[in-house]
Structure 1
Amino acid sequence: MLAAFVFLVAFNLRPAITAVGPLLPQIGADVGIDEGAQGLLGSLPLLAFAAVSPFVHRISRRLGFEGAILATMLLLAAGTIIRAYTGFTGLWLGTIVVGAAIGIGNVLVPTLVKRDYSQHISRTTGILSAFMTASAALGSAVAVPMSDALGWRGALAFWAAPALVVALVWIPRIRAAASAAPPKPAAHPTVSVWRQPTAWLVTAFMGLQSTTFYFCVTWLPTIEMQRGVSEHQTGLNLFVYQIAGMIAALSIPRLMRHGTSQVAAAVTASTPMVIGLLGLIFAPSLGFLWGVVAGSGTGACLAVALSLISLRGRSSAETTQLSGMAQSIGYVMAAVGPVLAGLLAQATGGWTASLGAILVIALVQLGTAVFAGRPRRDAREHAPG
């Protein structure tokens, strides 16, 4: 049961971010920032992910995996409150703190899966991804209704509460880890992941799928509102988008169970985003349908990306380093997407050009999936789990 608490951690790694998208028009009007700055606000957590990820393995060595997770939840709660209630500067500073906290959790979760569920990595990662996607959907769906009752600041601050709850229930796991036997040394000598071609392919896939996901959660509500959809309906649509992702995240591990190759899973997961973006460009009246299709792709891709990190790492230490690398560079790539999309929309007066640019990224991701899904050359030395 203590091992299963990692699912509660995963639940907290998305709603503090996805709640922002539906509220961007309110935030922009209240604080006085244009679409380009709103895009930067949406991307700032990703830049924080990128900045903190390479150092998480050092944090975990100092605090232990369990201690680092506790610190993550407390930091997330603090950043959420700062972002909501400390003025214009606090909005930006708190967003950075929120991003840093979630970045630490993002890196540690695949490592915990590798350590605690080594025989069921793909299935466990699918469940974790479903928890993350479900919480992301919840954050999007309740953002506007909560802002009606509490204002946008209260709607954002609410997400400090579940983080504090998880921090509280995590304490018994820290005590259990303190009384457990020390871990055995890694069976494989660790070669720097920065020198491994497989690590770069996993990183590319992680970054490309993150770019498409964060574009959608940041800007789909705004795109729909400009096409005449009500603010409340856009929040509901984004909720359905993420529920489709949750279902896909639970389904995609079926393609990853056998053998060491995940090509079929990576390609299958990447295809719906291409279809969804094509639909949004050429048949925008069916926007709800294309959002569901795209959502299924982003949910499945998250499960595949996190599984690849856990499967390709040969030990817990190497998995932490690979996770840090993939999420550092990957989220730098992802951070550029919403900002450029906002600036491109501002320059062109519409969203067609931005959707076309993200479509190109989705096509590159589809090609990358073929190579990232292939087993590493030394796969014979270890089983994928």
Structure 2
Amino acid sequence: MKKNLFRVIGVMSGTSLDGIDLVLVEFEYQGVWRYNIKHSETVKYPDTWYQILKDLVKFSDDQLQVIDTDYTTFLTEVIQGFINKFQIKDFDAICSHGHTAKHEPDKGYTYQIGNLPILAKKLGQAVVCDFRVQDVALGGQGAPLVPIGDKLLFSDFDFCLNLGGFANVSFSRDGERVAYDICPVNIVLNHYAKQLGFDYDDGGSIASNASLDEPLLRALNGLNFYKQTFPKSLGIEWVHSEIFPLINEKDISTEVVLRTLTEHISDQIGLAIKMKPEASVLITGGGAYNTFLIQRIKEKTLNRLHIPDRTLIEFKEAIIFGFLGVLKLRNEVNCLKSVTGASKNHSSGKIFTP
């Protein structure tokens, strides 16, 4: 008989680079899956790691392998610190996303650093990680991976919308789970906020007090990615090749850029969740705190937007990567072909033991 109760540590580092999210969470299966968060913490990146991670696409594969080893060592220290801080004992596994270095699924390539076997050896614990590679090898996008968690843990909502480095949405259609990346969010907003000396645009206050550049907005909304059908996913490479060049050719202030990007994001999200009027939308990720962005989304849809408590806003992805690990340990499907475009549903990830 399969084990139905798991205690795992979920670990997530996203493209917005706001830190490493860690949760200790219990999952129990009794006909349906339930979860219970025991502890949670975000560990901010030291400046040295922030500078390295924001430029990962510029490194060669040989350089990335060295960074991978160093980052895995750093990650073990962060996870061990979390275990020590909360005096965590008797858990089943550490389930870690790692950090995306390069993601070009159309070329059959994705690379997450921090997923090396030394993670298990240094921590003396079972580790489930590297969830994307198998899906790309099966012809999928390798992203987004959270929809299986949306389906099995958050089915009360019609849409699950995550506003992280990128916005992604997940919903059921004709009995199948559908999900895709919508557009960049914090990865671009934070980039331009930093030009003004801020880590982020708090509440969207800078954007809300600036004017809109209509030609830039039309150019952004006209990008080819938005005309593509799902499954589809985005990576930092796309931002560098498509978004930044459009903005760089404009002679406009950073404040106007932030205002226009916010409008662009709300336009694309509004289109994505308009398919079912008055549907319920669970919004998580750091962008949920951007009240101006939420206001603009609200004005473009008839849906009921639900912003949960801080723990779920900030740790939903870490919770779900913990859940992906549990499904892998049970050898059950954790990657849906309807979401990623892979040739089949499958149980993705690698299991390392000490």
TM-score surpassing 0.5? no
Greater helix percent: which structure? 1
Higher RCO (CA 8 Å, separation ≥ 6 residues): 1
TM-score (norm 2): 0.29
TM-score (norm 1): 0.27
